[in-house]
Copies of this chain bind each other. A is one copy, B any other.
Amino acid sequence: MRAEEKVLKDPVHNYIHVRDPLIWRLINTRVFQRLRRIRQLGTSFLTFHGAEHSRFAHSLGAYETMRKVLDHFSRNFGREWDERTRLAALAAALLHDIGHGPFSHAVERAVGWRHEEWTIRLLREEEELRGVLDAVDGRFAEDVAAILDGGSPHRILTSLITGQLDVDRMDYLLRDALYTGVAYGRFELERLIRVMSPGDGDVLVKSSGQQTVEQYMLARYFMYTQVYFHPVTLGSDLLIGKIIGRARKLWREGRLAEVPVFWSPWLEEGQESRGVLSVEAFLAMDDAVFLAGLHQLARSDDPVLADLSLRLLHRRLFRSVEVPGLTPEAERMCREAFERAGLDPEAYLGFHTAVVDGAGNREPVWLTDGRRGRINLFQVSALLQSLAPVAVTRIYYPEDLLDQMGERAKSIRALLASLAEGFPEQREEGGNVS
Protein backbone atom coordinates (compact mmCIF):
# COMPACT_ATOMS: atom_id res chain seq x y z
CA MET A 1 0.00 0.00 0.00
CA ARG A 2 1.30 3.40 -1.04
CA ALA A 3 1.55 6.64 0.79
CA GLU A 4 -2.03 7.63 0.75
CA GLU A 5 -3.19 10.24 -1.70
CA LYS A 6 -5.41 12.81 -0.07
CA VAL A 7 -8.02 14.67 -2.04
CA LEU A 8 -10.01 17.82 -1.49
CA LYS A 9 -13.28 18.31 -3.33
CA ASP A 10 -13.16 21.41 -5.47
CA PRO A 11 -15.83 22.99 -7.66
CA VAL A 12 -13.31 23.97 -10.35
CA HIS A 13 -10.92 21.01 -10.61
CA ASN A 14 -13.27 18.40 -9.08
CA TYR A 15 -10.47 17.17 -6.85
CA ILE A 16 -7.27 18.67 -5.54
CA HIS A 17 -4.79 15.78 -5.27
CA VAL A 18 -2.20 15.85 -2.52
CA ARG A 19 0.41 13.12 -2.52
CA ASP A 20 3.37 14.83 -0.93
CA PRO A 21 3.23 15.00 2.87
CA LEU A 22 5.03 18.35 2.69
CA ILE A 23 2.15 19.90 0.79
CA TRP A 24 -0.32 18.51 3.29
CA ARG A 25 1.64 20.01 6.14
CA LEU A 26 1.82 23.39 4.40
CA ILE A 27 -1.95 23.40 3.90
CA ASN A 28 -2.36 22.87 7.64
CA THR A 29 -0.25 25.82 8.72
CA ARG A 30 -1.99 28.82 10.25
CA VAL A 31 -0.51 31.04 7.57
CA PHE A 32 -2.26 29.06 4.89
CA GLN A 33 -5.50 28.47 6.81
CA ARG A 34 -5.73 32.23 7.29
CA LEU A 35 -6.38 32.56 3.56
CA ARG A 36 -9.84 31.10 4.22
CA ARG A 37 -10.67 34.46 5.77
CA ILE A 38 -9.54 36.56 2.81
CA ARG A 39 -11.85 36.87 -0.15
CA GLN A 40 -10.21 36.15 -3.47
CA LEU A 41 -11.90 39.06 -5.22
CA GLY A 42 -11.99 41.67 -2.47
CA THR A 43 -15.08 43.78 -2.85
CA SER A 44 -16.32 42.07 -6.02
CA PHE A 45 -18.94 40.24 -3.98
CA LEU A 46 -20.74 43.57 -3.74
CA THR A 47 -21.14 43.48 -7.53
CA PHE A 48 -21.35 39.75 -8.21
CA HIS A 49 -22.95 38.21 -5.18
CA GLY A 50 -21.59 34.75 -5.95
CA ALA A 51 -17.98 35.86 -5.74
CA GLU A 52 -17.52 35.03 -2.07
CA HIS A 53 -14.70 32.57 -2.48
CA SER A 54 -11.40 32.87 -0.65
CA ARG A 55 -7.75 32.91 -1.53
CA PHE A 56 -7.54 29.55 0.21
CA ALA A 57 -9.54 27.86 -2.54
CA HIS A 58 -7.65 29.68 -5.27
CA SER A 59 -4.28 28.77 -3.80
CA LEU A 60 -5.21 25.10 -3.74
CA GLY A 61 -6.27 25.44 -7.36
CA ALA A 62 -2.99 27.07 -8.37
CA TYR A 63 -1.13 24.23 -6.67
CA GLU A 64 -3.27 21.62 -8.45
CA THR A 65 -2.66 23.29 -11.80
CA MET A 66 1.09 23.36 -11.19
CA ARG A 67 0.92 19.67 -10.30
CA LYS A 68 -0.79 18.96 -13.62
CA VAL A 69 1.68 21.02 -15.65
CA LEU A 70 4.71 19.36 -14.09
CA ASP A 71 3.08 15.97 -14.55
CA HIS A 72 2.50 16.75 -18.23
CA PHE A 73 6.11 17.92 -18.70
CA SER A 74 7.36 14.72 -17.12
CA ARG A 75 4.99 12.29 -18.79
CA ASN A 76 5.03 13.65 -22.31
CA PHE A 77 8.47 15.26 -22.54
CA GLY A 78 10.54 13.45 -19.98
CA ARG A 79 11.34 16.76 -18.39
CA GLU A 80 11.88 16.08 -14.73
CA TRP A 81 13.22 18.20 -11.95
CA ASP A 82 14.89 16.67 -8.94
CA GLU A 83 12.41 15.87 -6.20
CA ARG A 84 13.41 18.81 -4.06
CA THR A 85 12.92 21.30 -6.89
CA ARG A 86 9.60 19.73 -7.84
CA LEU A 87 8.42 20.19 -4.25
CA ALA A 88 9.69 23.76 -4.20
CA ALA A 89 7.67 24.52 -7.33
CA LEU A 90 4.52 23.01 -5.86
CA ALA A 91 5.06 24.83 -2.57
CA ALA A 92 5.62 28.10 -4.39
CA ALA A 93 2.35 27.70 -6.30
CA LEU A 94 0.51 26.87 -3.10
CA LEU A 95 1.98 29.72 -1.08
CA HIS A 96 2.16 32.47 -3.68
CA ASP A 97 -0.68 34.46 -2.10
CA ILE A 98 0.00 34.12 1.63
CA GLY A 99 1.12 37.75 1.86
CA HIS A 100 -2.28 39.10 0.91
CA GLY A 101 -4.28 41.04 3.43
CA PRO A 102 -8.00 41.76 3.40
CA PHE A 103 -9.38 43.56 0.35
CA SER A 104 -5.87 43.52 -0.78
CA HIS A 105 -5.74 45.84 -3.75
CA ALA A 106 -7.87 48.50 -2.08
CA VAL A 107 -6.04 48.39 1.22
CA GLU A 108 -2.60 48.12 -0.29
CA ARG A 109 -3.26 51.26 -2.25
CA ALA A 110 -4.37 53.04 0.91
CA VAL A 111 -1.50 51.99 3.16
CA GLY A 112 1.31 51.31 0.75
CA TRP A 113 2.03 47.63 1.26
CA ARG A 114 3.07 45.07 -1.27
CA HIS A 115 1.68 41.60 -0.80
CA GLU A 116 4.59 40.07 -2.72
CA GLU A 117 6.97 41.32 -0.06
CA TRP A 118 4.83 39.97 2.72
CA THR A 119 4.74 36.57 1.07
CA ILE A 120 8.52 36.44 1.11
CA ARG A 121 8.70 37.78 4.64
CA LEU A 122 6.33 35.14 5.93
CA LEU A 123 8.30 32.43 4.17
CA ARG A 124 11.37 33.61 6.01
CA GLU A 125 10.04 34.65 9.37
CA GLU A 126 6.83 32.88 10.31
CA GLU A 127 7.90 30.21 12.71
CA GLU A 128 5.44 27.39 12.04
CA LEU A 129 5.70 27.71 8.27
CA ARG A 130 9.45 27.99 8.45
CA GLY A 131 9.53 24.83 10.54
CA VAL A 132 7.66 22.87 7.90
CA LEU A 133 9.93 24.14 5.14
CA ASP A 134 13.11 23.67 7.13
CA ALA A 135 12.19 20.05 7.63
CA VAL A 136 13.18 19.58 3.99
CA ASP A 137 16.43 21.42 4.54
CA GLY A 138 17.71 24.76 5.66
CA ARG A 139 17.85 26.23 2.14
CA PHE A 140 14.41 25.14 1.09
CA ALA A 141 12.48 28.20 2.23
CA GLU A 142 14.88 30.42 0.30
CA ASP A 143 14.52 28.30 -2.79
CA VAL A 144 10.75 28.58 -2.65
CA ALA A 145 11.12 32.32 -2.21
CA ALA A 146 13.50 32.44 -5.17
CA ILE A 147 10.96 30.75 -7.44
CA LEU A 148 8.44 33.37 -6.37
CA ASP A 149 10.61 36.44 -6.68
CA GLY A 150 12.47 35.45 -9.83
CA GLY A 151 15.81 34.79 -8.22
CA SER A 152 15.74 31.09 -8.98
CA PRO A 153 17.91 29.52 -11.68
CA HIS A 154 14.77 27.60 -12.69
CA ARG A 155 13.33 30.48 -14.69
CA ILE A 156 10.64 28.33 -16.19
CA LEU A 157 9.21 27.57 -12.75
CA THR A 158 9.00 31.26 -11.97
CA SER A 159 7.26 31.88 -15.27
CA LEU A 160 4.72 29.19 -14.38
CA ILE A 161 3.74 31.27 -11.36
CA THR A 162 4.02 34.75 -12.80
CA GLY A 163 4.18 34.73 -16.56
CA GLN A 164 1.80 34.78 -19.49
CA LEU A 165 1.05 31.10 -19.01
CA ASP A 166 0.97 30.80 -15.25
CA VAL A 167 -0.99 28.57 -12.92
CA ASP A 168 -2.11 31.56 -10.89
CA ARG A 169 -4.06 33.04 -13.77
CA MET A 170 -5.23 29.68 -15.07
CA ASP A 171 -6.93 28.94 -11.80
CA TYR A 172 -8.31 32.36 -11.03
CA LEU A 173 -9.93 32.85 -14.42
CA LEU A 174 -11.82 29.58 -14.15
CA ARG A 175 -12.62 30.01 -10.48
CA ASP A 176 -13.75 33.61 -10.68
CA ALA A 177 -15.89 32.75 -13.72
CA LEU A 178 -17.57 29.90 -11.86
CA TYR A 179 -18.28 31.87 -8.71
CA THR A 180 -19.43 35.07 -10.39
CA GLY A 181 -21.55 33.02 -12.78
CA VAL A 182 -20.19 34.58 -15.98
CA ALA A 183 -18.97 32.51 -18.91
CA TYR A 184 -16.23 34.94 -19.88
CA GLY A 185 -13.38 33.38 -17.97
CA ARG A 186 -13.72 29.88 -19.34
CA PHE A 187 -11.05 28.39 -21.51
CA GLU A 188 -9.81 24.91 -22.28
CA LEU A 189 -7.48 24.28 -19.34
CA GLU A 190 -6.57 20.71 -20.21
CA ARG A 191 -5.83 21.55 -23.82
CA LEU A 192 -3.84 24.63 -22.83
CA ILE A 193 -1.63 22.45 -20.67
CA ARG A 194 -1.32 19.89 -23.47
CA VAL A 195 0.01 22.40 -25.99
CA MET A 196 2.60 23.66 -23.51
CA SER A 197 6.08 22.19 -23.49
CA PRO A 198 9.17 22.97 -21.43
CA GLY A 199 11.81 25.07 -23.18
CA ASP A 200 15.08 26.10 -21.68
CA GLY A 201 13.91 28.90 -19.51
CA ASP A 202 10.49 29.40 -20.94
CA VAL A 203 7.31 27.60 -21.59
CA LEU A 204 6.81 26.92 -25.29
CA VAL A 205 3.53 26.41 -27.11
CA LYS A 206 2.91 24.15 -30.10
CA SER A 207 1.93 26.27 -33.06
CA SER A 208 -1.29 24.30 -33.45
CA GLY A 209 -2.22 25.62 -30.01
CA GLN A 210 -2.35 29.24 -31.14
CA GLN A 211 -6.12 29.55 -30.79
CA THR A 212 -6.06 27.81 -27.45
CA VAL A 213 -3.74 30.49 -26.12
CA GLU A 214 -5.75 33.22 -27.80
CA GLN A 215 -8.89 31.98 -26.10
CA TYR A 216 -7.09 31.99 -22.76
CA MET A 217 -5.79 35.52 -23.29
CA LEU A 218 -9.25 36.68 -24.28
CA ALA A 219 -10.73 35.07 -21.19
CA ARG A 220 -8.42 37.31 -19.23
CA TYR A 221 -9.40 40.35 -21.28
CA PHE A 222 -13.12 39.72 -20.77
CA MET A 223 -12.75 39.04 -17.06
CA TYR A 224 -10.94 42.32 -16.63
CA THR A 225 -13.43 44.39 -18.56
CA GLN A 226 -16.54 42.64 -17.26
CA VAL A 227 -15.66 41.58 -13.73
CA TYR A 228 -12.43 42.79 -12.18
CA PHE A 229 -12.77 46.37 -13.38
CA HIS A 230 -16.54 46.59 -13.02
CA PRO A 231 -17.29 50.19 -12.05
CA VAL A 232 -19.25 49.12 -8.96
CA THR A 233 -16.31 47.09 -7.69
CA LEU A 234 -13.84 49.89 -8.36
CA GLY A 235 -16.16 52.20 -6.49
CA SER A 236 -16.26 49.82 -3.54
CA ASP A 237 -12.48 49.69 -3.47
CA LEU A 238 -12.38 53.45 -3.59
CA LEU A 239 -14.77 53.57 -0.64
CA ILE A 240 -12.40 51.40 1.38
CA GLY A 241 -9.68 53.92 0.67
CA LYS A 242 -11.93 56.73 1.84
CA ILE A 243 -12.72 54.90 5.08
CA ILE A 244 -9.10 54.21 5.90
CA GLY A 245 -8.15 57.75 4.91
CA ARG A 246 -10.76 59.30 7.17
CA ALA A 247 -9.93 56.98 10.08
CA ARG A 248 -6.21 57.74 9.74
CA LYS A 249 -6.89 61.44 9.73
CA LEU A 250 -9.01 61.24 12.87
CA TRP A 251 -6.48 58.99 14.56
CA ARG A 252 -3.62 61.31 13.69
CA GLU A 253 -5.57 64.21 15.08
CA GLY A 254 -6.42 62.26 18.22
CA ARG A 255 -10.09 62.27 17.40
CA LEU A 256 -10.69 58.54 16.91
CA ALA A 257 -12.28 57.54 20.18
CA GLU A 258 -12.10 53.81 19.65
CA VAL A 259 -9.54 51.98 17.53
CA PRO A 260 -11.07 48.83 16.09
CA VAL A 261 -9.41 45.69 17.33
CA PHE A 262 -6.28 44.75 15.36
CA TRP A 263 -6.65 47.81 13.16
CA SER A 264 -3.65 49.76 14.31
CA PRO A 265 -1.44 48.79 11.33
CA TRP A 266 -3.98 50.39 9.03
CA LEU A 267 -4.13 53.58 11.06
CA GLU A 268 -0.61 54.36 12.11
CA GLU A 269 1.18 55.43 8.98
CA GLY A 270 4.54 54.01 8.31
CA GLN A 271 4.39 50.97 10.61
CA GLU A 272 5.40 49.02 7.62
CA SER A 273 8.09 51.32 6.34
CA ARG A 274 9.59 51.61 9.80
CA GLY A 275 9.61 47.83 10.03
CA VAL A 276 7.55 47.80 13.19
CA LEU A 277 4.69 45.74 11.78
CA SER A 278 5.10 42.32 13.31
CA VAL A 279 4.24 39.04 11.69
CA GLU A 280 1.70 38.44 14.44
CA ALA A 281 -0.03 41.74 13.79
CA PHE A 282 -0.04 41.05 10.08
CA LEU A 283 -1.59 37.63 10.47
CA ALA A 284 -4.43 39.01 12.57
CA MET A 285 -5.55 41.17 9.67
CA ASP A 286 -8.18 39.38 7.65
CA ASP A 287 -11.58 40.14 6.14
CA ALA A 288 -13.33 39.36 9.41
CA VAL A 289 -11.21 41.78 11.40
CA PHE A 290 -11.67 44.42 8.72
CA LEU A 291 -15.45 44.08 8.61
CA ALA A 292 -15.84 43.81 12.36
CA GLY A 293 -13.83 47.01 12.58
CA LEU A 294 -16.29 48.69 10.23
CA HIS A 295 -19.05 47.90 12.71
CA GLN A 296 -17.02 49.76 15.32
CA LEU A 297 -16.28 52.69 13.03
CA ALA A 298 -19.95 52.88 12.10
CA ARG A 299 -20.58 53.87 15.72
CA SER A 300 -17.92 56.58 15.61
CA ASP A 301 -18.73 60.11 16.80
CA ASP A 302 -17.50 61.38 13.48
CA PRO A 303 -20.53 61.43 11.23
CA VAL A 304 -18.47 61.19 8.05
CA LEU A 305 -16.54 58.13 9.17
CA ALA A 306 -19.73 56.51 10.44
CA ASP A 307 -21.47 57.22 7.16
CA LEU A 308 -18.65 55.86 5.02
CA SER A 309 -18.42 52.69 7.10
CA LEU A 310 -22.14 52.06 6.91
CA ARG A 311 -22.02 52.58 3.17
CA LEU A 312 -19.74 49.60 2.76
CA LEU A 313 -21.59 47.44 5.28
CA HIS A 314 -25.00 48.20 3.79
CA ARG A 315 -23.86 48.51 0.21
CA ARG A 316 -24.85 52.13 -0.29
CA LEU A 317 -22.07 52.73 -2.75
CA PHE A 318 -20.90 55.73 -4.67
CA ARG A 319 -22.12 56.22 -8.17
CA SER A 320 -19.78 56.91 -11.05
CA VAL A 321 -19.74 58.87 -14.24
CA GLU A 322 -17.35 58.01 -17.03
CA VAL A 323 -15.35 60.88 -18.45
CA PRO A 324 -13.01 61.15 -21.42
CA GLY A 325 -10.10 62.00 -19.13
CA LEU A 326 -9.33 64.40 -16.35
CA THR A 327 -7.00 67.37 -16.19
CA PRO A 328 -5.64 68.53 -12.84
CA GLU A 329 -7.72 71.62 -13.48
CA ALA A 330 -10.89 69.56 -13.85
CA GLU A 331 -10.13 67.67 -10.66
CA ARG A 332 -9.65 70.95 -8.84
CA MET A 333 -12.94 72.26 -10.13
CA CYS A 334 -14.68 69.16 -8.85
CA ARG A 335 -13.12 69.48 -5.44
CA GLU A 336 -14.14 73.07 -5.20
CA ALA A 337 -17.67 72.37 -6.28
CA PHE A 338 -17.94 69.73 -3.57
CA GLU A 339 -16.50 72.05 -0.96
CA ARG A 340 -18.84 74.84 -1.92
CA ALA A 341 -21.74 72.45 -1.56
CA GLY A 342 -20.55 71.41 1.89
CA LEU A 343 -19.34 67.93 0.94
CA ASP A 344 -15.81 67.04 1.97
CA PRO A 345 -14.10 65.94 -1.25
CA GLU A 346 -11.57 63.87 0.68
CA ALA A 347 -14.45 61.71 1.85
CA TYR A 348 -17.00 61.97 -0.90
CA LEU A 349 -15.27 62.55 -4.20
CA GLY A 350 -13.10 60.04 -6.01
CA PHE A 351 -11.23 59.86 -9.29
CA HIS A 352 -10.24 56.56 -10.77
CA THR A 353 -8.52 55.51 -13.95
CA ALA A 354 -8.49 51.84 -14.79
CA VAL A 355 -6.15 50.58 -17.47
CA VAL A 356 -6.93 47.21 -18.94
CA ASP A 357 -4.12 45.72 -20.88
CA GLY A 358 -5.76 42.78 -22.52
CA ALA A 359 -2.45 41.43 -23.62
CA GLY A 360 -1.00 41.03 -20.16
CA ASN A 361 1.82 43.52 -20.58
CA ARG A 362 2.91 42.06 -23.91
CA GLU A 363 5.40 39.63 -22.48
CA PRO A 364 6.11 37.21 -25.34
CA VAL A 365 4.41 33.85 -25.71
CA TRP A 366 6.64 31.50 -27.66
CA LEU A 367 5.15 29.32 -30.35
CA THR A 368 7.22 26.55 -31.80
CA ASP A 369 6.99 24.21 -34.67
CA GLY A 370 9.41 21.84 -36.20
CA ARG A 371 10.19 23.90 -39.26
CA ARG A 372 10.21 27.49 -38.16
CA GLY A 373 11.79 27.48 -34.73
CA ARG A 374 10.21 29.79 -32.23
CA ILE A 375 8.13 32.82 -32.89
CA ASN A 376 6.35 35.25 -30.60
CA LEU A 377 2.60 34.76 -30.70
CA PHE A 378 2.14 38.52 -30.59
CA GLN A 379 3.81 38.74 -33.97
CA VAL A 380 1.40 36.36 -35.68
CA SER A 381 -1.86 36.93 -33.84
CA ALA A 382 -3.89 39.85 -35.10
CA LEU A 383 -6.32 39.14 -32.27
CA LEU A 384 -3.73 39.70 -29.57
CA GLN A 385 -2.27 42.68 -31.35
CA SER A 386 -5.67 44.30 -31.18
CA LEU A 387 -5.69 44.15 -27.39
CA ALA A 388 -4.19 47.55 -26.78
CA PRO A 389 -4.25 48.99 -23.29
CA VAL A 390 -7.46 50.92 -22.70
CA ALA A 391 -7.84 53.53 -20.00
CA VAL A 392 -11.23 54.36 -18.49
CA THR A 393 -11.58 57.29 -16.17
CA ARG A 394 -14.46 57.73 -13.77
CA ILE A 395 -15.56 60.20 -11.13
CA TYR A 396 -17.21 58.69 -8.07
CA TYR A 397 -19.64 60.50 -5.81
CA PRO A 398 -22.62 59.76 -3.52
CA GLU A 399 -25.69 60.18 -5.68
CA ASP A 400 -27.99 59.73 -2.67
CA LEU A 401 -26.46 62.68 -0.84
CA LEU A 402 -26.79 64.85 -3.92
CA ASP A 403 -30.45 63.87 -4.07
CA GLN A 404 -30.94 65.00 -0.51
CA MET A 405 -29.17 68.27 -1.14
CA GLY A 406 -31.62 69.40 -3.78
CA GLU A 407 -30.71 72.80 -5.19
CA ARG A 408 -27.34 72.82 -3.48
CA ALA A 409 -26.19 69.94 -5.68
CA LYS A 410 -27.11 71.71 -8.88
CA SER A 411 -23.69 73.02 -9.75
CA ILE A 412 -22.06 69.66 -8.99
CA ARG A 413 -24.45 67.96 -11.35
CA ALA A 414 -23.85 70.52 -14.05
CA LEU A 415 -20.11 70.10 -13.73
CA LEU A 416 -20.26 66.30 -13.88
CA ALA A 417 -22.53 66.47 -16.90
CA SER A 418 -20.19 68.76 -18.75
CA LEU A 419 -17.16 66.60 -17.98
CA ALA A 420 -18.97 63.48 -19.20
CA GLU A 421 -20.13 65.13 -22.40
CA GLY A 422 -20.43 62.76 -25.31
CA PHE A 423 -19.75 59.71 -23.24
CA PRO A 424 -22.01 56.78 -22.77
CA GLU A 425 -24.48 57.00 -19.96
CA GLN A 426 -23.34 55.30 -16.85
CA ARG A 427 -24.47 51.83 -16.20
CA GLU A 428 -27.21 51.78 -13.68
CA GLU A 429 -25.73 51.14 -10.26
CA GLY A 430 -28.64 48.91 -9.34
CA GLY A 431 -28.17 45.46 -10.75
CA ASN A 432 -24.76 44.02 -11.20
CA VAL A 433 -25.16 43.78 -14.92
CA SER A 434 -26.72 46.26 -17.24
Q: Could you mark each residue 284-326 of chain A with 1 if its beta carbon is under 8 Å from any beta carbon of chain B, else 0?
A: 1011111111011000000000000010011110000000000
Chain B residues with Cβ below 8 Å from A12 are 181
Q: Could you mark each residue 28-68 of chain A with 1 if its beta carbon is under 8 Å from any beta carbon of chain B, else 0?
A: 11100110110000000110111011101100100000000
Query: Which A395-434 residues have C-beta < 8 A from chain B?
Result: 422-425, 427-428, 430-434
Q: Which of A207, A214, A370, A430 has the most CB of B within 10 A?
A: A430
B52, B186, B430: which contacts A6 (Cβ < 8 A)? B430
Chain B residues with Cβ below 8 Å from A28 are 315-316
Chain B residues with Cβ below 8 Å from A209 are 434
11 contacts between A and B (CB under 8 A): A5-B75, A8-B431, A9-B180, A11-B50, A11-B178, A49-B57, A52-B52, A208-B427, A287-B288, A288-B291, A383-B387
Chain A interface main SS type:
mixed
Interface residues of A (CB under 8 A from B): 1-2, 4-12, 14-15, 18, 24, 28-30, 33-34, 36-37, 45-46, 48-50, 52-54, 56-57, 60, 75-78, 178-184, 186-188, 190-191, 194-195, 206-209, 211, 214-215, 218, 222, 225-226, 260-262, 284, 286-293, 295-296, 310, 313-316, 369-372, 382-383, 385-388, 422-425, 427-428, 430-434
Chain B residues with Cβ below 8 Å from A190 are 14-15
Alpha-carbon distance between A261 and B292 when the two chains are bound, in angstroms: 8
Number of copies: 4
Chain B residues with Cβ below 8 Å from A15 are 190
B30, B288, B295, B382: which contacts A387 (Cβ < 8 A)? B382
| Contact indicator B432/A9 (Cβ below 8 Å) | yes
Tell me, rounded to whole Å, the shortest Cβ–Cβ distance linking A367 to chain B: 9
Alpha-carbon distance between A260 and B9 when the two chains are bound, in angstroms: 34
Alpha-carbon distance between A78 and B3 when the two chains are bound, in angstroms: 11
| Contact indicator A53/B52 (Cβ below 8 Å) | yes
| Contact indicator B2/A372 (Cβ below 8 Å) | no
Chain B residues with Cβ below 8 Å from A226 are 211
Alpha-carbon distance between A121 and B423 when the two chains are bound, in angstroms: 47
Tell me, rounded to whole Å, the shortest Cβ–Cβ distance linking A218 to chain B: 6
Q: Given A261-B296, A386-B386, A431-B18, A183–B187 Cβ distance below 8 Å?
A: yes
**Nearest-CB residue, chain B, relative to A296:** B261
Chain B residues with Cβ below 8 Å from A11 are 50, 178-181
**Nearest-CB residue, chain B, relative to A421:** B371
Tell me, rounded to whole Å, the shortest Cβ–Cβ distance linking A129 to chain B: 12
